[in-house]
């Protein structure tokens, strides 16, 4: 799968694509990427990419011309194009799964007050919010989207890891423990040391329900139906 990211600070994304598990996915050929600097498509001498908003108000807005030229250069018109923005639909695991079926996804990183609406109208399929808060820029949001998507691709992490985690089956994941058996007076639950797989499965399911009830009770109704 290919991720094409348009940003004013491609070096932020470069560090991400060349580190840790993502770097391995790139090396294996499971993921490829293109980091495009929007500023390279600005026509004036100062490579200007922002301007004041029509109608007045605080801040600056990303100008349409450089961004549209950058999008044209990557053929965004024919590709699934995603714009992270706090005013988008909420990003979820189900949506990450949907994106993971694409061959290529283009992401636009906003800055300042955001992007000229006409670019959204002309190029963007999905406006997605990574949560009900406002970040200072789109790079972190784009990395968040990419990260949730690429780990679902075959060959990145094991299938078993994906099957047992939060939101799979509608519940949050059960608590995890590793060695030592006792840490600062707290013991690992006996059941996990029993070797009895059916009982462990049952305990984990119960713990998942308890945790979901405590932290995200609104998920429980949906989980009952799965
Ligand atoms: N004026 C915008 C508003 O009130 O909706 C906020 C702009 S924000 C300061 C700058 C950029 O950060 C946005 O264009 C977007 O790319 C990114 N961003 C901020 N919060 C985000 C969120 N919750 N989800 C996705 N992207 C976000």
Q: What is the pLDDT of residues 13-26, one digit of tens each?
A: 999 999 999 999 99
Domain 2-150 is in which class?
alpha beta
Q: How far is the CA of 148 from the centre of ligand 1 (A)?
A: 18
* Residues 40, 36: Cα–Cα separation, whole Å: 8
Domain 164-223 is in which class?
mainly alpha
129 lines ligand 1 (CB under 6 A): yes
* Residues 92, 121: Cα–Cα separation, whole Å: 23
How would you classify the pairing of strands 61-62 and 104-108? unpaired
141 lines ligand 1 (CB under 6 A): yes
The gap between the terminal CA atoms of the chain, to the nearest Å, is: 29
Q: Which atom of ligand 1 is nearest to the CA of 137?
A: 12
* Residues 98, 114: Cα–Cα separation, whole Å: 25
10 lines ligand 1 (CB under 6 A): no
For the chain, the farthest-separated pair of C-alpha atoms sits apart, in whole angstroms, at 70
CA distances from 90 to 31, 64, 131, 214 (A): 24, 25, 6, 22
- The residue whose CA is least distant from atom 26 of ligand 1 is 85
Q: How far is the CA of 83 from the centre of ligand 1 (A)?
A: 10
87 lines ligand 1 (CB under 6 A): yes
For the segment 191-214, the average pLDDT, to the nearest whole number, is 97
Whether pLDDT at 225 is above 90: no
Indicate the pLDDT class of residue 221, thresholds 50, 70 and 90.
Answer: confident
Domain positions in the chain are 2-150, 164-223
Q: How far is the CA of 111 from the centre of ligand 1 (A)?
A: 7
Reported as a single tens digit per residue, the pLDDT across 86-112 is 999 999 999 999 999 999 999 999 999
How many Cα atoms within 13 Å fall on the side-chain side of residue 138? 27
């Amino acid at each position: 799968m290919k991720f094409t990211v348009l940003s004013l600070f491609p070096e932020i994304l470069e560090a991400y694509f060349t580190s840790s598990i993502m770097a391995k996915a790139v090396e294996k050929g499971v993921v490829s990427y293109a980091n495009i600097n929007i500023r390279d498509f600005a026509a004036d001498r100062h490579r200007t990419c922002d301007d004041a908003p029509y109608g007045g108000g605080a801040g600056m807005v990303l100008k349409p011309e450089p961004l549209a030229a950058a999008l044209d250069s990557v053929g965004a018109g024919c590709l699934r194009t995603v714009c992270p923005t706090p005013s988008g639909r909420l990003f979820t695991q189900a949506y990450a799964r949907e994106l993971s079926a694409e061959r290529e996804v283009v992401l636009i990183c906003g800055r300042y007050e955001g992007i000229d609406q006409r670019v959204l109208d002309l190029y963007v399929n999905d406006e997605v919010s990574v949560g009900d808060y406002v970040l200072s820029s789109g790079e972190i949001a784009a990395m968040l989207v990419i990260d949730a998507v690429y780990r679902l691709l075959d060959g990145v992490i094991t299938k078993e890891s994906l099957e047992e985690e939060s939101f799979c089956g509608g519940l949050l994941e059960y608590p995890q423990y590793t060695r030592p058996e006792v840490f600062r007076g707290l013991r690992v639950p006996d059941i996990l040391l029993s070797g009895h797989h059916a009982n462990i499965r049952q305990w984990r399911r119960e713990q998942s329900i308890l945790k979901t009830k405590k932290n995200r009770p609104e998920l429980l109704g949906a989980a009952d139906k799965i």
